[in-house]
Structure 1
């Protein structure tokens, strides 16, 4: 019998502030997106198990494109495998809006279709039931 939580999906959106730009071209380091993955993984664990759980590790991470200050990122997690205490998640981040400072100080555009910038597979572990 299949677990009804298989396929559970959580989505968060966040504006990337200019205070997080570390590199030329207002580039943001990859750790910023991994922090977002931790947030969506935590929500998955809360929804499934009533506990924040622990993001135990990544089995795969692929950086596919740049994340820049002024982006609006969508981070998502989907439950793809459920073990007794572990949950395997497929994670992604995509740019849904991007600043265009060359057009003006507050200019921006919607990115349609969204630009996938990071993909990962991670394992979340939850405590045993007491």
Structure 2
């Protein structure tokens, strides 16, 4: 989906969202906790789609400016990762990322029990820079 601020750069506001189930094979710590790199990998995937939609190229993820781990991610979660372009230069884009848990396993109710959360849990936020090698050329 794309939004365009009135009179603004049409690339700003471009938003991409992916959802993914977190398999139990990715739990690395007690309590079925998943490492933060799992979410960063999702951010890389949504950033790649942003670049494809914006410039017709997979682009390059240049850097993170900020990463905040706000709540735990557990095996059995369904995560939603969103990337939104907040600044567009000639070849670079600043992207805001947010990952939310939208469904969570409920082992206390049964071995395969789970629920859709009434309010998603924001687990990771970040900002980063991507580069489109062929944009603006």
Matches within 5 A, 1:23-102: 23-102=29-108
Shift of 1:2: 2.2
1:122 equivalent in structure 2:
128
Give the aligned CA root-mean-square deviation in angstroms: 1.0
Deviations 1:5-47 (A, max 9, x none): 2101100000000000000000000000000000000000000
Counterpart of 2:26 in structure 1 is 20
Unaligned runs of 5+ in 2: 1-6
Give the aligned partner of residue 10 of structure 1. Answer: 16
Query: TM-score, normalised on structure 2?
Result: 0.92
Query: Gaps (5+ residues) in structure 1?
Result: none
TM (normalized to structure 1)?
Answer: 0.97
**Number of equivalent positions:** 130
How far apart are the structure 2 equivalents of 1:69 and 1:56? 29
Would you say 1:106 and 2:112 are equivalent positions? Answer: yes
